[in-house]
Amino acid sequence: MQRRITGPAMIGGLVLLLLLPRPGHVAAQGGAAVRSSRDTLLAVARDVVAAARFCALITTGEDGRLQARTVDAFPPDDRWVIRIGTNRRTRKVGESADHPDVTLYYFDRASLAYVTLQGRARLVTDTAEVRRYWKSEWEAFYPDREADYVLIAVTPVRIEVVSEARGISGDARTWRPPAVEFPEAR
């Protein structure tokens, strides 16, 4: 049996549809809508990542608890893949191999902006790529670079962005930040 919606219920539903944020819009916490395209969000995210320099890498430990540590990641490439150089004996290597769903969290204190990148981690085995992603200031940490140094590459699934200075903030009611989805990475 189909119910027909009429009168006040129909008007209430139409009003609700008009008040809901439209795709491509971000409701600021103060209530005003700000137009934010995928390109705009990614450009702001790139600025926040560069300004933050360091980020937290969050993995799942063998006990099932979340583990966070500060890392000096490389800037994202054009597909937003972020590489992290580390010692192959660290917990993050084993944890990201066992539980590849990881989170990177960047916070720029100066602008009170942040980026949360949820993604899939993989250990990089290509020697040329491992050699390409290297910082000379790491020499002291890797006396046997060929044996000890490894890369973890994080391919994004979702990126959330908040930058009050750029007019990008969370939903007025739920505070959920605007996000960019990467369905091809799932």
How far is the C-alpha of 160 from the C-alpha of 168, rounded, in Å? Answer: 10
How far is the C-alpha of 56 from the C-alpha of 72, rounded, in Å? Answer: 9
pLDDT reported for residue 114: 98
How far is the C-alpha of 164 from the C-alpha of 87, rounded, in Å? Answer: 36
Answer whether residue 74 shows pLDDT above 60: yes
Backbone angles phi, psi at 87, to 5 degrees: -80, 135
pLDDT reported for residue 185: 62
Banded model confidence at residue 142, pLDDT cuts 50, 70, 90: very high
Length of the chain: 186
Question: Among 158, 156, 151, which residue's Cα sits nearest to residue 97?
Answer: 151
How far is the C-alpha of 13 from the C-alpha of 9, rounded, in Å? Answer: 6
pLDDT reported for residue 36: 73
Alpha helices in 53-82 (DSSP H): none
Report the pLDDT averaged over residues 47-69. 97
Which residues contact residue 173 at a Cβ distance below 8 angstroms, ignoring those fewer than 6 apart? 27
94-138, pLDDT tens digit by residue? 999 999 999 999 999 999 999 999 999 999 989 999 999 999 999
Give the pair of three-digit tokens for residue 79. Answer: 């597909």
Query: What is the overall mean pLDDT for the chain?
Result: 85
How far is the C-alpha of 85 from the C-alpha of 72, rounded, in Å? Answer: 8
How far is the C-alpha of 166 from the C-alpha of 150, rounded, in Å? Answer: 36
Report the pLDDT averaged over residues 32-49. 84
How far is the C-alpha of 92 from the C-alpha of 151, rounded, in Å? Answer: 11
Ordered domains of the chain (ranges, CATH): 24-185 (2.30.110.10)
